[in-house]
Chain A
Amino acid sequence: MEFWKSKRKMITAIAGFLVFMMVCTMISKSVYAYRLPQITVEEAKKRTLGRVVKLQGAVTQGKEFAVSTLPSIRVDTVEVGKGDEVEEGSVLFTLDMRDLQKQIAKQELEIKKLEVQIATLQHNQGLADAQKVRDTNRLLEDYLTEAAEGEIAVDRAKIREGEANADLQKHLEDVPQTTDEKGRAEAFAAYDDWVERGKRLKEEVKQLTSALTAAQREVEEAQAAVDAWKEKQTGGTLFSMETQTLPPETDAGLPETEAGLQTGVILPEAQTGSSDATPPETEFAPPNAGLSGTQSDSPDTTPPETEPAPPEAEPSETEPVPPDAGLSGTQSDSPDTTPPETESAPPEAEPPETQDTPADTDPPKAAPSGGESNEPGQPLEVLQKRLEEAVARRNACADALQEAQDRLQEHQEEGRVRPDFTAEDAEKKNWETQAETLRRSAENAGWAYDDALRQKQKALEEAQRKVDDSVEPETLQDTLVLNQLELSWQKEVMQGYRELQEQEGKITARQKGVVTAVHVSPGNGTPDGAAVVYADREENLEFWMTVPKEQKKYVSQGTQGNLQLGNKQLDCAVEYLEPQADGSYLAILSLPQGLGNMGESGTFVVSWQSESYPCCVPADLVYEEKGRHYIYVVRRQQGILGEEMVAEKRYVKVVEEGDSYAALEGGALADGEEVIASATKEIKDQAVVRYRIPDGM
């Protein structure tokens, strides 16, 4: 390896250098470590802080006595000064006797003046009283009068009210009769019916009249026929030709309008059957055929038919009156049919079928009658029979007519008037109006009564007030009392002066003590308040101490502590705390009897315990700089050499300070963080540190 050998020098050098560096490395490590400040640490703990506060103070007097006397009396001599001890009865100061005399004289004058004043006042008072009594009496009388008058008014009003009410009541009871609606309607209906009936009757009459005329004609025709026959017998056939105009159908009802109409009339009758009248079936069974049969029957039926004619009851009967058809039927030519028809004429029976059927019934009726009559070549007997029948019919007609007319007459004689309810109504209205009026007056009467009552009340009250007023106390009396009081007081003062006089103006102490203040001086007047103040030496002593502002929070009223006076100790509590002008406080506690001498100084020791704080460190670990507090905390960080510990200056806020511990604001230290308690070297912020190596290792 020549290669390497030739480089020996270089290699040696480099190797040497490296070795040197190695050595240096190790040296530096140890030196560095050695140089590091070694620290001990403490952790923050949760604890309470304690503090011992010592307050200095002194014993002062508690109870003080004041000696005073009547003011403004010149003082002659003052025997004592501040701090002097006095015994019971020792003279404190003496008053000037001459001055005292003057005061007494003045006082007497005062008293006299007052006495005179009082007498005058009393006299005046008597007069006033008498007057007052009189006034009061008068007012009472007024009151009574008012009461009585009021009563009367009220009663009257009440009566009026009663009357009005009664009238009203009576009136209300007296209700005029009026027909009610139903009645009225009935009345109207009745009237209408009557009117209708009248009309019907008139019509009937008319019809009958025409029927009669027709019957008469028939008679004449029959007669004529007879005559003609007779003539024919004698030769002439004029009439037969005329009579052949009739249609061939004889049995069946010939559609002659008149006949139909007649039969129409009949039908309704039958159907009415309203009254007992007819065996309807027999008559109307074959309306078309064989009406003659019916006709034959019809005379039987007619009378009963006529009866039911004027049935007043049913209004509906008015309708069938348009058996005008029937009536007109009767007016028609066929005389045969007339009697039954006339009878059937006033069948005011209802059936509207009358309208329908006329056509049906007509022919049959007409047929036989018409047919028969005009047949030529009929036997005389027939004609005569016909004539007889016609006459009979005519007669019947006339009778009926007469009857009808009678009825009409009767009816008209009834002379009914349309029911007029207006009078009724008017009367009712009147009644109502009257009722209203009565009601109003009753109401008024009621109000009047109320008014009267109120009026009375008011009047009474006023009168009462006046009476009360007059009984009020008089100020006049106050003045009197005052004066009397003053008099008695002045007399007392006088008494005081006299006593002083007796004492020869000497003011003494009541009991033993020490003079603490003297407020009198020779030649000046005695003060208003205390002239001399002295305190009890032995009783009611107090201990006064000053509490500096910073320590105020440890001491408050009631704080217990230990008082040391001389070689005596006492556990007591602060009784009173008062702020002073300079920010400090004055604390006072009273001493039990026998303990302490005035002026003696002592110490009051208060041990104060705070609440528990979570983060407390020993107080001497907290430093202060420019008003801020700080601590050094150990922080671990990674450095070039690995993990190292660094002292970190951390500003904290001290929440509470005790004697040996300080509480830091929560959060100042995290869990487990250590505070540097001591160090071998001065620590600077961010300086690297290490733990202290325990001695002996």
Chain B
Amino acid sequence: MRKKNLTAYVFLLPSLCGVLLFYLLPFADVVRRSFLTAVTKEFCGFDNYRAVFHNEAFLLASKNTARFCLFCLPILLGLGLFVAVLLDGYCRGKTFLSAYLLPMAIPSATVVLVWKMVFARQGILNACLGDFAALLGKNCVFEIDYMDTGAAFWVLVASYIWKNLGYTVTLWLAGLLSVPAEQKEAARVDGAGSRQVFWRVVFPQLLPNLYTITVLSFLNAFKVFREAYLVAGSYPHESMYMLQHLFNNWFVNLSLDKMAAAAVVTGGVMITGILLLQRLWEKE
């Protein structure tokens, strides 16, 4: 076993070195900074943490980020599952999947342009909604300014789902596919309706995937920041203001102490989250 260990380290070495240098060391520095003041570099204990927890912007950003994650993830996962089920059940063609995966290939910068056009106050979405309403006989005018109101949140959600649906679907599909067909057949033979088949037979087997999918989706949720930043700038509407915005602005304003403390806090929260998840789903 010792040999194994050593070889393991050999394999691990390059990555570990880099990670150490470019991630762990900086993070350690961040932790150090979280205990110092920004300008004079004096030790100030937990002052920064206190400041951070009382900082409105931080609270807002955390709230938004949390809200976003808690809101989007289930939707995405659910929708993804739904589509995956449909695909699996009725349409095995790869074309659909490719179509779904396409958005992932689109660079954020590119798609931002489209978002700008769609979500502007006089944008296409409003136009379509208006048309749609006209079709239905109602003559209401949609003049929602998505960027500057609470609707901004929905913009993010939409962008996120649009981008990641394909990915999620693929993941779910893989999971679905790994369920042996015989099991399903057997269940059906036993007289279970397709719903029951699904929930009783298939789903439990998908649970292990959930961890991975959740983690990945979570990761992608953070990436939404890019679109938000490109569309609405450093100081977007309140409902869009995420943790990354905050960090970015703090960086620009050189409020490094707060940033460090918040980083540590965020890191801490995520660590706890991950560990929890790990505990829940990792059965290693």
Chains A and B in contact, CB within 8 Å: no
